[in-house]
Structures are given as structure tokens and as C-alpha cells.
A and B are shown apart, each in its own frame.
Chain A
């Protein structure tokens, strides 16, 4: 913990409002941040995960500390931890729902794994799987981050950050490449693309 930030084995978690008391023997409790992405009422008949339309699916919302967000029954919203994390190069993390929160039928992750060296506030997929709308209060404990040491590379690689989600502070829209580029990379020569004009009309060409 008490290592300089440029040490590849340093862990940074900020702000830790209760200091070292947030740490358990193998995990640290994390709070809910104030920014959310909610599902937008989509105008098209479908959503294509490509490079142009990735932000069309969500609408940003800010809920200041002291206020709450209502998550309707069976709805999912994207949030983020209040804490910004820098994981050491030899530590992986797994983000889990705090057990008391889970007992209210809130599930916070379906992509819980955090790679060594990750930086950023952790994006939380917060699903209300109950039949009742539930209130979320930013600033309250929501998740626990379990830390696991991994075998380091020999010799340790210089720290290089992924440009995809570089140090996010708020929940961010997904970042995709064009489907045809992804598939061309594995030798698929042709990928069906829906012309923009047809998407606007809401009809899929035969």
C-alpha cells in the first residue's frame, strides 16, 4: 500500500474515506459513484455494436451525493465506483456485489475480472433483478474488490496502458471496432453491414 505510485507493485485506491479500515484481509469495500449511464429508448429496431453507434444506447445521469437513483424492476444501469483504482502489475482483482446489497436482489457485475495494472473507477453493471424498484445512493458501499496476486512476468514488463478505456472516472460507453474489421482479422472476407439509410427507416434489407 505505502509504495510510490511509479513503483509497478504499488496499489492506489482513492479516495478511501475511512482510511485503512476499508481493507479486509483479502478485499476492500468500494462505494458507488455519482455518475450513471441509463438505457436509452432506442429509435432503431436493433443495436449494432460498431464503432459509430456505441454511445447511442445510453444516456448520462448525474446523481449528487445525498440524492438517489431509482432502478426500476428488471432494469440494468451502468455506474462506477467512487474510488479510482490503480492495480499493481502483479495483482488481479475481482469485483463482487457486497453481500448485504446482493440480498436486496441487486447484482453488480457480469464482467467482474480486473487485469493487473488496471487504472480507473470500476464500471459496475447494476442489475435490479427483483420485482420492486430499488433506490441507489451514491456514496454508499456497493461492492467489494477481491485482490489476488499473480505470477509476475520475468523480467517484469514496462508498464504500458491499454488505450481502450484509459483511466475512466465515470462509466463510459463501450468501445467497439467495426464488425467487418474484427472478422477480417480472423479471415472472414465478407461481413454483412446494414446500410445507414435502411437503419433509419427501421427495415433490414433482405
Chain B
């Protein structure tokens, strides 16, 4: 029979091979592609941790069967190290796939810049992942950080998990899109919510809301059921918060992007749009809250006379009555409605929390109102709208204005551009022509963001949030 030490050696050797592979995989990818600084930080961490893990494994075996050593304890340590590397394994490949040719790098640069402007997040970094799922998500780093802290107890000099590092995932099919990827702002909202531990801040209000609605039933319920109810409300609050966070930072373009994705996933048809899920409030409620923010902040009025199907759909969903919302819990048929009622009591707290986080970082409507028509003129003339000529003066519109204007143009006025293309016949519309030209609008808008990053480094004076040439 194999000795305990031989078993430990085999276990350690298998982990060593696994770690070496991941280290070399990162190095090989970094040698052949470019990555955003956040991904580079993550790969650097993986590299450092791999070296320390290799040294730890060698030391583990090198000590042999010392009398004061329990090999079973050593195997338990190995199990923790393995568990951590197994999680990293799941992150490394999607991060390595997200090199700068495969992601909307200018948008991610803007997103990080806006994140840094939010006070306590000035040093945060967000790693982009390319996911096989047709959805956007934020990878919660809490459990990973906990495990990383445990790891430092066993692996000498193991680097701490980078402070302020988060992960957000893009579906791989959307890599080159600009507008759909505005949903990343929602995931950034989740990252901020998790980092600030906003769930803990909302918990007393959640308890008050549940007590107000469920009264004695809540007090007498089992601890497990009480936590289950809290978790539902907290999850719905977090989703709504992330929506409001995104709408604050990027304006109505976020709501348009949500419509695009939800349409693709067929989530906007009734009765689905009225149904609450375990983790998400009903889409109708989400758009109600977004529209409320966009109206009070002036964005909805700033869209002016332009009417698109997306705007109508948002208004239609937002207008749904609260009584129509539905949450089914098979074991407790009455509880669903009561939870929704309690959740609706949280509305003001969530709005306040989002407003408090975004504060001065919220997108201003002024530049959009000032430049929207001019940006449209550039786009309909197939021209990148990064340097605008308006009444003989030169302006460099800020990114949020450009993105909203570009998205609105794409929804409302693509036909005007198509009319200008040689050979296009408006009486024989081709789906492929529309798709191709819509792709061009995204490309020109993305180029404008890229240009603005360069131009804003050059210009000294700033007027009304817009850079103006001296």
C-alpha cells in the first residue's frame, strides 16, 4: 500500500502541474495579445501566486515525515489551495479571452474612469471576462477574497488578493458591440453594491418593511424562512440599485441597452415582464424605476421629440400597475404578494442609496441637449462625431452625450443614413444593410470615445463639461 507521504507527493505533484499550466497559459496569452491594465493586474497576481504555490508545494514535500507533522493536516491545507486554484481556473480563461481585440476597450476605459470618480473607488479595477452565457454578470469576489485570506495562512508570502479588483462578464457574441455592452454599467453597480456592503446597510430597512407587511407572521417564522424573505428583498433591491446606478452614469442609453438584451431573451412579453423571480424584480418594475429616475433627472425630456419603439416600450412597461406584479412561491401561495408589498416599501431607500453613491458622478443632460442634433448630423454624414463644428466653433462632446446621441440615432434615424448609400433602395429594405449600418454607427461612436480620451489630454479649457478649443 502507498505510504501517506507518497500519497501527499502525488497530490502535490498533480496540483503543481495544474498551477504551472495556468501560469504558463497566462504568460502565453499575455505574450500574444494586449490587455487592459485591470486584466494585467489579475494575471500578475496569478503569476505571483503560482510561484509562491510552487515553492509551498516543494517545501511541503521537502519536510518529509517529520515527527511533529500530521500529513492529514497537510492534505487539508492542500485542499484549501486546490479549492482556490479551482476558482481561479474558472476566471483565467474568460479573462484571457478578453484581450483588447475582443472587447469594447474604449467603453471599458470610460467605465473605469467613471468608477474612479466615485470617491472611494479611485483605485478599483474591473477585469473583463468573455462568457459563453448570453447574459452579463458580475462575479462576486467576496468568497474568493475569503479563500485568498485563508491561503495566505498556509502559503508563505502568498500575495494578497488585489484590493478593489472586480470581475464583470460580457457574452462573447457581443464583443464588438458598443450599445448592448452599456449593460456593463449595471454589473458595475453590482460591484459597487458588493464592495460597499450595501446589503448590510439596507438590512434594517428590509426587516422593518417585512415586519410592517408580515407583522407577527414574520416574527414567528423560522430563522431560515426569515432569511429567505430577507434575501429575496435584498436581491431585488440590489438589482434595482444596479439599474439606477447605470442609468445615473450613462443615462437613457442604459435603458435602451436593457430593452435590446431583454428583447433578445424574450423577457418583455407579458406575463413574463410582470413576474418577479428569486433574484430579479419584474422587468416592468425595473423600467418603472429607471423611467422615474430618467424623468426626474431631466433625461427623458432631453430626448426631445424623438420617439422610438424603445421609448414607447419603456413607458408601457413602466405604466403597469403594481397590483399586476406577481411572485409565485409554490409552498406559500400568499407570501409572494406580501413580499412584493414589503419590497415596494424599500423603493425610496434604494433610490436614495443610488443617488448617494453616484452623487456628482451622475451624467449631466446639458451636453446631450447642446450637441445631440449636431452629433446626428455627423452620423448621417457617415462621420465620426469626436470634433464638432457648431456655429464656427470647435467642440469635443463628452462621451455620455455622444453615446446617448449615437444610440438614439441608431434607433430612430438609421434609414436617413441608408438613404445616402449608393445602390440602397428604400422600397426593398434588406436586413443585412440595416445590421451593417447599425454596426457602423457603433463603430463611429466607439471611435469618438477613443478620440475623446486623447483630445481631453490635449485641451486645457473646459466649458460646460465640453472641451472647447481655445
Contact = CB atoms under 8 A, between A and B. Distances in A.
Interface of A: 2-6, 10, 12-19, 60-65, 67, 84, 86, 119, 121, 159-163, 166-167, 169
Contacts of A162: 421-422
Q: Which of A61, A119, A166 has the most CB of B within 10 A?
A: A166
Nearest to B100: A62
Contacts of A61: 101
A65 B383 CA distance: 23
Interface in B407-425: 420-424
Main secondary structure of the interface of A (DSSP, over half): loop
B384 A161 contact: no
Contact of B101 (A12, A60, A84, A166): A60
A173 to B, nearest CB: 14
Interface in B426-470: 433, 436-437, 440, 443-444, 446-447, 451, 454-455, 458, 469
A16 to B, nearest CB: 7
Contacts of B389: 2-5, 10, 12
B143 interface: no
B34 A62 contact: yes
A162 B447 CA distance: 20
A163 B383 contact: no
Nearest to B392: A2
Given A161-B420, A163-B422, A167-B383, 20 more contacts: A6-B381, A12-B387, A14-B387, A14-B451, A15-B387, A15-B455, A19-B469, A62-B33, A64-B100, A84-B383, A84-B447, A86-B381, A119-B381, A159-B381, A160-B422, A163-B423, A166-B421, A166-B440, A167-B440, A169-B446
Interface in B1-59: 33-34
B313 interface: no
Nearest to A13: B387
A160 B380 CA distance: 11
A166 B439 CA distance: 11
Contacts of A13: 387
Nearest to B419: A160
Given A17-B455, A163-B422, A12 B469 contact: no
A14 B384 contact: yes
Nearest to A3: B389
Q: Which 10 pairs from chain A and chain B are nearest by CB? A: A14-B387, A15-B451, A84-B384, A167-B382, A169-B447, A62-B100, A86-B383, A14-B386, A160-B422, A119-B382
A84 B387 CA distance: 10
Q: Which of A5, A121, A159 has the most CB of B within 10 A?
A: A5
B226 interface: no
Given A15-B386, A84-B447, A166-B440, A5 B454 contact: no
A62 B437 CA distance: 23
A173 B378 CA distance: 25
21 contacts: A2-B392, A4-B390, A5-B374, A5-B383, A6-B381, A14-B386, A15-B451, A15-B454, A16-B387, A17-B458, A60-B101, A62-B99, A84-B383, A86-B381, A86-B383, A119-B381, A119-B383, A160-B422, A161-B422, A163-B421, A167-B443
Interface footprint category on B? 35 or more
Nearest to B458: A17
A10 B377 CA distance: 12
A166 B421 CA distance: 9
Interface string B187-218: 00000000000000000000000000000000
Contacts of B387: 12-16
A18 B470 CA distance: 12
Contacts of B436: 166
A12 to B, nearest CB: 5
Nearest to A64: B34
A204 B100 CA distance: 39
B330 to A, nearest CB: 51
A89 to B, nearest CB: 11
A169 B422 contact: no
B444 A159 contact: no
Nearest to B459: A19
B454 to A, nearest CB: 6
B390 to A, nearest CB: 8
Nearest to B101: A62
Nearest to B433: A163
A163 B418 CA distance: 9
A153 B151 CA distance: 75
A139 to B, nearest CB: 8
B43 to A, nearest CB: 16
Nearest to B437: A166
B469 A161 contact: no
Interface in B252-271: none
A62 B384 CA distance: 20
Contacts of B423: 163
A54 to B, nearest CB: 15
B462 to A, nearest CB: 16
B382 A160 contact: no
Contact of A169 (B378, B384, B424, B433): B384
Interface in B343-359: none
Contacts of B383: 5, 12, 84, 86, 119, 167
